[in-house]
Structure 1
Amino acid sequence: MWAGQMLCEALNWVIKHVVQEERPHHELGEGFGFPSSHSQWMGYFATFLLSHLTFRHRFAPTGWRIVDVLWRSAVYMGLIGWALAVAYSRYHLLYHTPRQVIWGLSIGVLFGAWYYAVIEIFPVVWPTSVFGRTRAAVLGNSVSTWFRIRDGWAVWEDGGKEVEWLQWRREWERSRFGVRPADRSAKVE
């Protein structure tokens, strides 16, 4: 996701320097105004995250379907609302024109959808494609191993959160009964 953010920012810089459209008020902000980088970034961020929540993430169930649906809807609406609020703020604070904001948001949404497909969907659907082989090379090399770079969603539906939580819970239960983490070989009676 963060590499995509850097690519999205680079795309914004290129577009701004090709189009060279001024901001509505020169005294507010530096550089060119088209497209709004804040709007573009939020479009990218919200689209990437919404795509991930839709296609790969599994929310922990509460046991009540209505609560699960309401929670998921609240998360989706919160992300969309946040993106729209940031985009609107760029216009409201007079940094950009409505056109610059709408284009920024639109470019971000399109880039987010494209980047998510290339990075997350294509490697899973076609693991022997260039996308799948690239992902395997990035995750399987010694440098990635040394930095502990991983893709939890390639292994677990929830990115490993349930396994991580269960591990924490076991350690927490052990600590409640006086077994310190350093004494892991000791048995709890």
Structure 2
Amino acid sequence: MPENDRLIGNLDEINLELVEREATPRFLMKFSIQLYLAGLSLSNTVSALEIVGVERARSTVHNWVHKAELQPESGRSPDQIAVDETVIRIDDEQYWLYAAVDPDSNELLYTQLETTRTTAISHAFSAELREKHHVDDAVFLVDGATPLEDACSRYRLDFRYQKHGTRNGVERIFRVVKRRTSSSSNRFSHVDPDTADDWLRTFSFA
């Protein structure tokens, strides 16, 4: 699905109740958030606002995005789930991104950002995924990542080894995340793990 398709989403899904004393019309705030989620940098989003005569700082738009506290909808019941982990870099530091994707819709169901890769973290990731969604009857698609396979076994989840095929959805999402995080200096004034984790939840909503 092209990233621009995210512009089609319903603006009513973006809740700005936590944004107080803001002179900008709510519609423009929500539209700015949607532009950012569609792939625009903060600078380009600010430029789009200037077209309609509204001048705001990049930090202001950044605050709108994060105060909206956008997260993917809970309670999904997918038939299959592609799970994987990959390395991403934030500034000069290396982190592990754990992700679960519904391969039928290519939607991110859950993400978790960690400083390392261990079996215990894979277990915690799987446990939290089970709390958010109805996944006990789903087939988990893994690519041979031993900790995630071990987590599936621990919780008696049905899993299948698959390198390509329907697992390609999670790989495509990882490519988008890596592209966005590699240029995160254009999007955040200060990049730290908490900010990146917050951005990943926002990205999952998109």
TM-score range for the pair, normalised by the shorter chain length: under 0.3
Whichever structure has more helix as a proportion of its residues is 1
TM-score (norm 1): 0.27
TM-score (norm 2): 0.26
Larger radius of gyration: 1
